[in-house]
Structure 1
Amino acid sequence: MAETLVAPNAVERAGVLAQLEDWLRTPMLVLSFVWLALVLVELVWGESEPLEIVGTAIWIAFLIEFAVRFSLAPAKLHFLKSNWLSVLALAAPAFRLIAALRFLRFARAARGLRLVRIVGTANRGMNALRASLGRRRFGYVLALTLVVVMLGAGGMLAFEPAEAVEGGFTSYADALWWTAILLTSIGSQYWPQTDEGRLLCFLLSLYGFAVFGYITASFASFFVGRDAAARDGEVAGTEEIRALKEEIVQLRIELRGALGARL
Structure 2
Amino acid sequence: MTGQMTTATVLQSGEPDRLNVLEQLDVWLRIPMMVLSFLWLTIVVVELVWGSSRLLEVFGTAIWIVFIIEFLVRFALAPYKLAFLKGNWVSVLALLAPALRLIRVFRILRFARAARGLRLVRIVGTANRSMNALRASLGRRGLGYVLMLTAFVAVLGAGGMLAFEPAAEVEGGFANYGDALWWTGMLLTSLGSEFWPKTAEGRLLCFLLSLYGFAVFGYITASFASFFVGRDAVAPEAEVAGAQDIAALRGEIALLRRELSDH
TM surpasses 0.5: yes
Q: Which has the larger radius of gyration?
A: 1
**Paired position in structure 2 for 1:199:** 204
Q: How far 1:24 sits from its partner (Å)?
A: 1.2
Q: How far 1:136 sits from its partner (Å)?
A: 5.2
**Paired position in structure 1 for 2:3:** none
**1:72 equivalenced with 2:77 (yes/no):** yes
**Paired position in structure 1 for 2:195:** 190
Q: Which runs of 4+ in 1 moved over 4 A?
A: 103-106
**TM-score, with normalisation over the residues of structure 1?**
0.94
Q: How far 1:74 sits from its partner (Å)?
A: 1.2
The answer (yes or no) to whether the contact 1:36–1:121 under 8 Å persists in 2 is: yes
Q: How far 1:159 sits from its partner (Å)?
A: 0.2
Moved more, 235-244 or 142-151: 235-244
Q: How far 1:100 sits from its partner (Å)?
A: 7.0
**1:91 equivalenced with 2:96 (yes/no):** yes
The answer (yes or no) to whether the contact 2:109–2:115 under 8 Å persists in 1 is: no
1:4-44 deviations in Å (ceiling 9; x for gaps):
22222233222222222221111111100110111111111
Q: How far 1:239 sits from its partner (Å)?
A: 0.9
In structure 2, what residue type is equivalent to 1:192? P
Number of equivalent positions: 258
Unaligned runs of 5+ in 2: 1-5
The answer (yes or no) to whether the contact 1:99–1:110 under 8 Å persists in 2 is: no
Alpha-carbon separation, structure 2, partners of 1:99 and 1:160: 27
**Paired position in structure 1 for 2:123:** 118
Q: How far 1:96 sits from its partner (Å)?
A: 3.3
Q: How far 1:69 sits from its partner (Å)?
A: 1.1
**Paired position in structure 2 for 1:225:** 230
**TM-score, with normalisation over the residues of structure 2?**
0.94
* Residue from 173, 181, 195 that aligns with 2:186: 181
Q: How far 1:255 sits from its partner (Å)?
A: 3.0
The answer (yes or no) to whether the contact 1:99–1:105 under 8 Å persists in 2 is: no
* Residue from 232, 240, 261 that aligns with 1:256: 261
Q: How far 1:73 sits from its partner (Å)?
A: 1.3
The answer (yes or no) to whether the contact 1:115–1:155 under 8 Å persists in 2 is: yes
Moved more, 149-158 or 2-11: 2-11
**Paired position in structure 2 for 1:23:** 28
The answer (yes or no) to whether the contact 2:110–2:116 under 8 Å persists in 1 is: no
Alpha-carbon separation, structure 1, partners of 2:131 and 2:59: 21
**Paired position in structure 2 for 1:172:** 177
* Residue from 131, 134, 145 that aligns with 1:140: 145
Alpha-carbon separation, structure 2, partners of 1:145 and 1:111: 24
Alpha-carbon separation, structure 2, partners of 1:252 and 1:205: 54
Unaligned runs of 5+ in 1: none
* Structural RMSD (CA): 1.5
**Paired position in structure 1 for 2:166:** 161
**Paired position in structure 2 for 1:32:** 37
